[in-house]
Structure 1
Amino acid sequence: MPDRQAAAEALRRLTVDVADWPEPGVTFKDITPVLADHDAFSAVIAALAAAGRDEHGAVAVDKVVGMEARGFILAAPVALALGVGFVPVRKAGKLPRETHAVSYTLEYGEATLELHRDAIAPGERVLLVDDVLATGGTVAATRRLVESCGGVATAVSVLMELGFLDPRATTGDLPVETLLTI
């Protein structure tokens, strides 16, 4: 069983707050020090991957989806840890083949995400992985993309949740596993 406490402590210790970035009034959570520390990064990946396992520790998903951009950094090793495939969800215009697209509102603007139409087969169980759960808009949009392929979003696993923004009001009934709530 992964040590969620160690992962949360590493996040508290190593994450750097950057005020007014990318725009005034936003405090950016810089996780690059976590990624640069092998022990912290390993603990975080193991803890994130736990959301893709059942109560007996067996893998319970077929794919892991990571949202651009920091979700890629986390979701790919989570997929490897679970022994399943990784699927990127990209910003509009970044994927070369036919896609599904969803536009949504995020904490400081609007965005459109895309997913290759053939990235997830009907019925595949999918774990969504990202770095920060803020308003929940990215997760809700990604879930809609997974469902547009016929997949089933089973849970979302994130490093940090910004509880003061009430993101679970947007994520609906999707189980959310977070390592640290701020």
Structure 2
Amino acid sequence: MAEAQLDIGVDKTLLLVDDDEPFLRRLAKAMEKRGFDVETADSVAGGKAVATARPPAFAVVDLRLEDGNGLDIVETLREKRPDSRIVVLTGYGAIATAVAAVKIGATDYLSKPADATDITNALLATDDELPPPPENPMSADRVRWEHIQRVYELCDRNVSETARRLNMHRRTLQRILAKRSPK
């Protein structure tokens, strides 16, 4: 398999942190096939423990975990190993969150569902080259929906406050929130 011959470097350690157990197992197996020495964690506490005890050269961290925010793990990794390459994953692709992740020290930011190839490309991309664009980027409708959801969450799920901040009629917002997310 050509993918197994990737030039990862001498230190192949990779920390994967995600609370979606089936996704974590699949990704760990795929990354091992690509030559990484994988260690997994399913919580902020577990991720920080590994980052402190054995700081990896690479990390893939989910943003929203059951016990907190994945950015806490990114901060710990940056303190313990400033040269590590970190990709933040999330099911909630919002520009503000991506900016926060990169400011805190993430190398890249990918929206779920990201496959092992996208993740590997992001981890191994050099600073002067951009990884290739995703095969299936979010539609404009999906980006709009994600933004509305983010503002709604930031307003503690208060429809009236969210509508005011988005400069939108409250009933229009309620109809949007009642629908399923666009593809």
Same-fold status (TM-score > 0.5):
no
Q: Decide which structure has greater helix share.
A: 2
Higher relative contact order (CA 8 A, sep 6+): 1
Classify the TM-score, shorter chain.
0.3 to 0.5
Give the alignment's TM-score, normalised by structure 1: 0.41
Q: State the TM-score, normalized to the length of structure 2.
A: 0.41
Q: Which structure has the highest strand share of the two?
A: 1
Higher radius of gyration, 1 or 2: 2
